[in-house]
Amino acid sequence: MNLLKSIGQYFILLGKVFSLPEKRDVYFKQTINEFILLGINSIGIVAIISLFMGAVITLQTAYNTENPLYPAYLIGLGCRDSIILEFSSTMIALILAGKVGSSIASQIGTMRVTEQIDALEMMGVNTASYLVLPKLIATILFNPLLTLLSIILGIAGGWIAGTATGVITSSNFIYGIQYAFIPYYVFYSLIKTVVFAFIITTVSAYQGYFVDGGSLEVGKASTKAVVFSCVLILLFNVILTQLMLS
């Protein structure tokens, strides 16, 4: 019963989130702020992880294809497809679930326990839409840019690691990332990113919005937001892969 209640509350919250905003100029300013807080502030960690991720993929692929029967360019090809198809969308989403998701849950949860949300509702503000919709718009629009950045830096990290360690020449790696390239894979990765952004934002907002108690419950809500977001990301990763690549 608790599961059904939670699902019902989640969809009721979504209904309030997508209701028509009262003052669109206020929402616009809030959305710009969320672009900075949830998007631009995440560039650093995405860049670092992507560089090292590409480096590790390249080195592991090289060590597992030492057989002379395998052409050297397969290292670049393997790095490219692994990053585009999986790592830059799913792995980055899991990282953002921890960074962005916990931030959203704790922010809204703190507003709930300090009765700021109650005060806004007494003034006639649709708090669900005011607090969640700008965050949702910001993540849905900015997370695909983070994914594209991750793809570029991941491949660059693979090229740097491969050429610096001597496991592959620069020309072979570049040939590999160009060989049999399928642009649809990038589209598939971006679609997954948008779905994951929706999951992270709405699930985290739900956990914070319905906090009941004090600061201890806010911490628990942040933890639940990360855990549930990660589980749903992995679940929808399987579903979208089956639907879009089968």
**Res 25 pLDDT > 80:** no
What does the pLDDT look like over 128-147, one tens digit per residue?
A: 899 999 999 999 999 999 99
Percentage, residues of the chain above pLDDT 70: 98
Q: How far apart are CA 218 and CA 142, in angstroms?
A: 26
Instruction: Classify residue 90 by burial, with Cβ atoms within 10 Å: 0-12, 13-18, 19+.
Output: buried
Residue corresponding to tokens 């979504």: 14
pLDDT reading at 22 higher than 80: no
In terms of pLDDT, which residue wins out, 23 or 123?
Answer: 123
CA-atom Rg of the chain in angstroms: 21
- What is the maximum span of the chain, computed from C-alpha positions, in angstroms? 72
Judge whether 21 and 133 are in contact, CB under 8 Å. yes
Distance CA 158, CA 153 (A): 8
Helix spans in the chain (H): 2-17, 24-34, 43-63, 74-82, 92-96, 102-113, 116-122, 127-165, 170-178, 184-209, 215-245
Which position has the token pair 């993540």? 139
CA distance 183 to 124: 48
206-242 pLDDT per residue, tens: 999 999 877 788 989 999 999 999 999 999 999 999 9
Compute φ and ψ for 16, nearest 5 degrees. -75, -35
pTM assigned to the model: 0.92
**Residue 1's pLDDT band (boundaries 50, 70, 90)?**
low
* Distances, alpha carbon 118 to alpha carbons 22, 47, 110, in Å: 18, 39, 12
pLDDT averaged over every residue in the chain? 91
In the numeric block, the tokens 């060590």 are attached to 63
